[in-house]
């Protein structure tokens, strides 16, 4: 504990102390683009498999509809339920549903945030920008939105800047981004750029860490296999055979002899009509045959393993990229749900948390941003719900909601009757269900009758 004298000197301002908040008192340096970020974005354009896998996720992330909620009485001061902004989708969805039903919150389908998300640029739709931003995050690990403001300083849109075009990030001493985007080269204030990223566990203040950057060796190996295969079929890759001559003469004469021998061979065996001919060569000529055996190299198995690893990195089921090798009806029907649950939902939560933290305060501080659940209803579950008799433990509308249908006002509060035997005879419905419709007549006194 500091002494009384030390605390008195600090209170009088006679001791040096960091200025500003604690986070700005820490030394922060500017960071340039990661090496290889431009190459992995270029691989997205040139590598068909990488583009297919990344697009499968990015298209699904850019599709769901966003929602905006606000308090019904914004002027009334009350404690906001923190579950409404929880990172747990189930907890947040239930809290939003309860608050909307009680009248505390109201959904605004025409809020300014939604208009910005749907049309952030005069030439490009919002879905295209959302997909592009997701591609940047999946490949490089970060995305930059350069905000556009009107004369009053209000945010009216943005542009997506490629990560490798952001040359410098801000520092406390120099709070600007240095951009080299299109024809613009210069500094942009930190407040006009939104920086979304996956934090690097080794250096959180550094640039983002993306899955595409971690797949550099796999992508290079797949490209090398493809190029080697192409070269083999175009030019043979390596010579099919090596012809040698006995070096008894001088160097100059030997080179002329080799050229003459090659010329004679080309003249005699040019074209497919020369197949099967026998060539008579002078003495001292040796032949060494060279062959490329892709089976021994296991090229096909190696390439398939690398492609599967790239696909698994992004949690994409094989059925969604056309691989039906080990597929069956069950896996094919659940592939879309698996993608939404393990790939799309975490990424939507990533965007919701960052947008709520960075963009919402710039547009409407009291707004609560949320998205529609991207997980589709599984066919088997809906089929069972539609064909199985419900029990009295649930209302008809609860069963309809579980199957993915809207509640029916005519069925509000109604429950199905108990199944036969389910009541144990303790209620009229069960008693009537278990009662014998035609009881047997009394046969007393007929014992001796045949």
CA distance 83 to 80: 9
pLDDT on residue 274: 64
DSSP string, 29-98: ---PPPTTHHHHHHHHHH-HHHHHHHHHHHHHHHSSPEEEEEESSTTS--PPPGGGG-S-HHHHHHHHHH
- In tens digits, what is the pLDDT along the chain, a chain of 450 residues? 556 666 666 655 555 555 444 444 445 667 888 989 999 999 999 999 999 999 999 999 999 999 999 988 766 545 567 888 888 888 998 899 888 988 889 999 999 999 999 999 999 999 999 999 999 999 999 999 999 999 999 999 999 999 999 999 999 889 999 999 988 999 999 999 999 999 999 999 999 999 999 999 999 999 988 887 787 777 655 566 777 777 665 555 777 877 888 888 787 777 666 666 676 776 667 766 656 666 767 888 889 999 999 999 999 999 999 888 888 877 887 899 899 999 999 999 999 999 999 999 999 998 999 999 898 876 677 778 788 888 888 898 888 888 878 888 888 888 888 776 665 555 555 555 555 666 667 767 666 665
Name the residue among 198, 200, 206, 171 with its Cα closest to residue 26: 171
Residue recorded with tokens 């009485």: 73
Classify residue 47 as left (phi > 0), alpha (psi -120 to 50) or beta: beta
List the beta bridge partners of residue 147. 158
Name the residue among 51, 80, 205 with its Cα closest to residue 138: 51
pLDDT on residue 325: 83
Q: What is the reported pTM?
A: 0.74
CA distance 191 to 177: 9
List the beta bridge partners of residue 286. 244
Of the chain, the end-to-end C-alpha distance in Å amounts to 110
pLDDT on residue 324: 84
Name the residue among 56, 62, 196, 65 with its Cα closest to residue 128: 62
pLDDT on residue 381: 72
Q: Strand 368-371 to strand 176-181: parallel, antiparallel, or no bridges (unpaired)?
A: unpaired
């Amino acid at each position: 504990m500091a002494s009384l004298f030390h605390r008195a000197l600090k209170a009088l301002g006679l001791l040096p102390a960091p200025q500003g908040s604690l986070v700005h008192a820490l030394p922060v340096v500017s960071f340039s683009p990661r090496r290889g970020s431009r190459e992995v974005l270029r691989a997205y354009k040139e590598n068909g498999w990488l583009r297919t896998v990344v697009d499968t996720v990015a298209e699904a992330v850019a599709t769901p509809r966003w929602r905006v909620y606000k308090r019904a009485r914004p002027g009334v001061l009350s404690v906001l339920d923190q579950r409404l902004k929880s990172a747990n989708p189930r907890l947040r969805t239930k809290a939003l549903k309860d608050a909307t039903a009680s009248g505390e919150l109201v959904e605004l389908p025409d809020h300014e945030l939604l208009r910005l998300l749907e049309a952030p640029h005069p030439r490009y739709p919002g879905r295209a920008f959302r997909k592009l931003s997701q591609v940047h995050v999946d490949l490089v690990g970060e995305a930059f939105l350069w905000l556009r403001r009107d004369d009053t300083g209000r945010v009216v849109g943005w542009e997506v800047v490629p990560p490798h075009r952001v040359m410098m990030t801000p520092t406390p001493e120099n709070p600007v981004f240095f951009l080299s985007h299109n024809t613009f080269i210069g500094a942009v204030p930190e407040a006009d750029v939104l920086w979304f990223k996956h934090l690097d566990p080794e250096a959180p203040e550094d640039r983002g860490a993306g899955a595409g950057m971690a797949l550099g060796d796999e992508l290079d190996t797949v490209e090398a296999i493809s190029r080697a295969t192409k070269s083999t079929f175009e030019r043979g890759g390596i010579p099919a055979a090596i012809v040698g001559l006995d070096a008894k003469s001088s160097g100059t004469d030997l080179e002329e002899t080799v050229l003459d021998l090659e010329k004679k061979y080309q003249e005699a065996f040019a074209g497919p009509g020369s197949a099967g001919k026998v060539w008579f060569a002078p003495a001292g000529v040796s032949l060494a045959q060279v062959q490329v055996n892709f089976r021994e190299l296991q090229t096909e198995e190696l390439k398939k393993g690398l492609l599967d690893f790239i696909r698994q990195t992004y949690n994409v089921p094989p059925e969604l990229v056309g691989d039906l090798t080990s597929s069956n009806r069950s896996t094919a029907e659940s592939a879309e749900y698996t993608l939404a649950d393990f790939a799309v939902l975490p990424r939507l939560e990533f965007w919701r948390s960052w947008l709520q933290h960075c963009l919402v305060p710039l547009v409407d501080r009291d707004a609560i941003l949320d998205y529609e659940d991207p997980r589709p209803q599984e066919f088997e579950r809906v089929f069972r719900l539609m064909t199985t008799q419900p029990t009295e433990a649930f209302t008809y509308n609860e069963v309809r909601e579980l199957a993915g249908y809207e509640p029916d006002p005519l069925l509000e509060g109604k429950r199905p009757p108990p199944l036969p035997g389910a009541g144990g005879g303790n209620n009229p419905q069960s008693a009537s269900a278990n009662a014998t419709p035609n009881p047997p007549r009394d046969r007393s006194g007929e014992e001796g009758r045949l």
